[in-house]
Chain A
């Protein structure tokens, strides 16, 4: 009734002063309609549960409220508002509103002529008003549909902007990707990120929610990943960083699941971390297995860490990264496609686009004709060519594998002062590399500062908790890996460290300390952090033979 009485009131109004009262000579009601803006008081809604509703619905004509005896809150409300006569507007047996009139200004009761005229008016007006109401409802629904369609279009546009326009071209690898948006666009995304040194970052993610909000969060996640992945590289560190940035700005009840994998195409070696996403399936000669890694979805709370796992994709092996859309698809009886079915589907020799086509065909056979896709479907398939085991490739892989020369691996006690021991040892170890003196000094400072952090945060100054250091010479770089014991929690994140500002420090607005992480970053060509639980390894890289620092 609420929806009906309000529009009617807006059309007809309550009584208002008679513009020219002529006592006793007006057969028609002298309660002239007013415009909405002129109406005093609030609209009176008559709930269907109120006895007055049923009474009015079956009343043969106008109802004099003064003579009515009903235990009805609405009746009291109407009387309180000065309504004397209620004319029910009924069409096809449905009470669609009332015409409420106050007492005649002539202070006489409504005459039988008045009532007859009002009854006739109501009988003719009610269907017309109902038609007007339906037209308005339909116009409103059409506008809503238009707005919805527009929103979907915007969401699709945003989504498409951030999906890769081309796939990486890797010798010995077959790579294919599929993205099929649902009618109500979800927040799926995938990406390939060039990490340098031939490495590729693969991402598949899914934002909760749908439409424009999901597309915007997807766009933001994509941007952060693009910015942080090449800098941090290590999947666990990348997801931790993305999580911290997203959590600070994530709309309520939204989060992102994401699988991030770093692939070394030359060797098939992968390092991956998982933020609550579906585990990739890997088809090997021994069957289909999962790449398992655990972690909370992104954007829920800050300060999370993500475990990293490593594995190797052998020649002929296939990997499938995918989103919920495929496993949560239903057949006409309500059965879900599910993980076991997808896993079984991976038992095929098909690869790349052919594999994805086959998977989609099987999905459509399951869902049947006329299936309306419930969620976005995203799949990324990669396969290492069986030929990768051939002579040339084996040689290349062997070359790549043996090209990492471990110059030394040692430990220093986790007591303060041993950062200088670490520094001097590394300086001796890298003598055969023949670094220019200035670069050697920079490396020494970076090693000393990193080791000092490891002692302070990883060993908490305990001599019995050592810091491990490994020095590697690679084909084009020198790497020093400094691993802490993770005793005192994570070393501050390089990306989050406050940039030291000397003006602020001199003005007392920043503490004089806080130069360590800044110096480390300035001294070497690249700094990466690999986290494993609470333990953290900082990898310092100096490019060799180039124009590095």
Chain B
């Protein structure tokens, strides 16, 4: 059984990296909200969402990501996604999230296959 979402925020250059661990679903609301509130205080650069340690994203999780993305756009903060598996990359394409955040290229050695969301 997977664990509920945990989100760790780490300042990075002018922005922040949010490392997401566990599953992104209805139980991840507080973690996601808290993580963005913390990340927005870190300068004005990009916010990187690291999905390499997430193993499940459902439609409610997609909604949490959409809400974070909307807030980041209002704050003028670009959002990047890292570590998505091919399946969730497809879902990001279907939902058009990939139109509003850059996805890393899994062929460039980014950690999308080891421990990434399956």
Contact = CB atoms under 8 A, between A and B. Distances in A.
Q: Looking at chain A, what size class is its interface with the partner chain?
A: 20 to 34
Contacts of A514: 63
Given A500-B95, A502-B99, A502-B100, A516 B87 contact: no
B64 interface: yes
A506 B73 contact: yes
Contacts of A516: 58-59
A512 B63 contact: yes
Interface string B7-31: 0000000000000000100100000
Contacts of B100: 502, 506
Interface string B75-118: 00000000001110011001111011000000000000000001
A516 B97 CA distance: 15
A502 B58 contact: no
A515 B63 contact: yes
Nearest to B70: A506
Given A502-B95, A505-B66, A519 B59 contact: yes
A446 to B, nearest CB: 11
Given A420-B56, A512-B63, A516-B59, A438 B97 contact: no
A502 B67 CA distance: 10
B94 A519 contact: yes
Nearest to A421: B1
Nearest to A516: B59
B63 A452 contact: no
A24 interface: no
B59 A449 contact: yes
A508 interface: yes
Interface in A481-510: 500, 502, 505-506, 508
A508 B67 CA distance: 9
Contacts of B69: 506
B87 A442 contact: yes
Interface in A211-234: none
B105 to A, nearest CB: 18
Given A502-B95, A519-B91, A512 B59 contact: no
Given A420-B56, A502-B97, A515-B62, A438 B87 contact: yes
Given A441-B118, A515-B63, A502 B94 contact: no
Contacts of A519: 59, 62, 91, 94-95
Interface in A454-504: 500, 502
A393 B86 CA distance: 46
A513 to B, nearest CB: 4
A445 B66 contact: no
A420 B95 contact: no
B59 A515 contact: yes
Contacts of B56: 420, 448
A206 interface: no
A512 B66 contact: yes
Contacts of B64: 512
A518 B58 CA distance: 12
B99 A452 contact: no
A419 B63 contact: no
A416 interface: yes
Nearest to B62: A515
A508 B26 contact: no
A402 interface: no
Nearest to B88: A441
Interface string A162-197: 000000000000000000000000000000000000
B70 A512 contact: yes
Contact of A513 (B1, B2, B63): B63
A522 interface: yes
B96 A452 contact: no
B59 A513 contact: yes
A449 B87 contact: no
B96 to A, nearest CB: 4
A442 B90 CA distance: 10
B70 A448 contact: no
A217 B53 CA distance: 56
A449 B87 CA distance: 15
Contacts of B2: 420
A445 B63 contact: no
Contacts of A452: 58-59
B24 to A, nearest CB: 12
Contacts of A515: 59, 62-63, 95
Contacts of A502: 66, 95-97, 99-100
Nearest to B73: A506
Contacts of B23: 420
A448 B100 CA distance: 26
Contacts of B85: 441
B70 A513 contact: no
A242 B74 CA distance: 42
Contacts of A441: 85, 87, 118
Contacts of A512: 63-64, 66-67, 70
A452 B27 CA distance: 14
B58 A419 contact: yes
- Which residue, of B23, B66, B85, B91, has the highest number of chain A Cβ atoms within 10 A? B66
Contacts of B94: 519, 522
Interface of B: 1-2, 23, 26, 56, 58-60, 62-64, 66-67, 69-70, 73, 85-87, 90-91, 94-97, 99-100, 118
28 contacts: A419-B58, A445-B87, A445-B91, A448-B56, A448-B58, A449-B59, A500-B95, A502-B66, A502-B95, A502-B96, A502-B99, A502-B100, A506-B66, A506-B73, A506-B100, A512-B64, A512-B67, A512-B70, A513-B63, A514-B63, A515-B59, A515-B63, A515-B95, A516-B58, A516-B59, A518-B95, A519-B59, A519-B95
Given A420-B1, A512-B64, A515-B95, 4 more contacts: A419-B58, A442-B87, A513-B60, A519-B94
Interface of A: 416, 419-420, 438, 441-442, 445, 448-449, 452, 500, 502, 505-506, 508, 511-516, 518-519, 522
By Cβ-Cβ distance, the 4 closest A-B pairs, closest first, are A441-B87, A515-B59, A516-B59, A512-B63
